[in-house]
Each structure stands twice: as C-alpha cells, then as structure tokens.
Structure 1
C-alpha cells in the first residue's frame, strides 16, 4: 500500500508530495477546491491549505478532509505527473 512520507506546500493551493515507493509529484488542489463544499471551502484560504499534514500515510487537514495516498498516487500516475527517482 502506497503512503505519503513527506509533503511541502508549494504555492497557495499546491503541494509537493513524496510517496513511500520513492515517487514524487507536484499536486494542485485546484479541482478539489473548486468543488466549493463545506469541507473543501476552507482549503481556498492559503494559510489554511498550508496546514496540510500526513495522518497514517494519508493527506489530511484539520477540518477532517482526508485523501488516500493510493488514490492520489493513481491519479498522478495516470496523468503522468509522478516522477520516479533514478535507482
């Protein structure tokens, strides 16, 4: 199972992510924020967005929004956004 091992805010609504398989990606939360739901609305505030953290390998925010690392990894892989480190 893929887990997040490190994250770093990279702009107002993006994160640099490192996964347990050594892959990395720059992920934009623009589509998530655009949903404009009660849960995603706080993420539009850059200061709140930057409070992202890793909980049990998943991407999370203090209001309870949680995204599975597997799901993020699959989407980023399908879009060609994952970077695999040279062995």
Structure 2
C-alpha cells in the first residue's frame, strides 16, 4: 500500500510528494480545484491551500478533504511525472 511520507508546497496549487516506494512527483491540484466542489472551494485561498498535512499517508486539509495516496501516485505515474527519489536510494 502506497503512502505519502512527505509533502512540500512548490508553487501555485502544486505540491511535491514523496511516497513510501521511494518515488517523488509534483502534483498539480488545479484540475481538482476547477471542479468547485464544497470541499475544494476553500483551497482556492493560497494561504489555506498551503496548510495541508499528511495523516495516515494521505494528503489532507482541516475541512475534511482527504486525497488518496494511491490515486495520486497512479495519476502521477500515468502522466510520467513520477520518478525515483535518488536521495532515498
């Protein structure tokens, strides 16, 4: 089971994520935010967006939004944005 082990804000709506399988990728959440659902609307505010945290390996915000690490990992892999973390090797 893939988990997020570290996350760092990179730039506008993009977070660099390190996964438990020693891979890393930059996840752009703009497409998710464009959906304008109740849980993602608060993330339009950059200050709120930056207050993400990791809980049980998932990417979370205080309003209850929780993004699956496996789903994010698969999306990054399909987009060719996932690579080995050479520092972890």
TM-score range, shorter chain: over 0.9
Structure whose residues are more often strand by fraction: 2
TM-score, structure 1 normalization: 0.95
Distance 1:47 1:85 in 2: 28
Q: Mapping of 1:76-87 within 5 angstroms?
A: 76-86=76-86, 87=89
| Number of positions where the alignment pairs a residue of Structure 1 with one of Structure 2 | 87
Instruction: Give the structure 2 partner of residue 18 of structure 1.
Output: 18
- Residue 71 of structure 1 corresponds to 71
Alpha-carbon deviation of 1:38? 1.1
Q: 2: CA distance between counterparts of 1:9 and 1:21?
A: 20
User: How well do the aligned residues superpose, as a CA RMSD in angstroms?
Assistant: 1.0
Specify every segment of 5 or more residues in structure 1 that has no aligned partner in the other structure, as ranges.
Answer: none
Displacement of 1:84? 1.2
Runs of 4+ aligned structure 1 residues displaced above 6 Å come to none
Q: How far does residue 12 in structure 1 lie from its aligned partner after superposition?
A: 2.6
> Which blocks of at least 5 consecutive residues in structure 2 are unaligned?
none
CA distance in 1, matches of 2:48, 2:12: 10
State the match for 1:61 in structure 2.
61
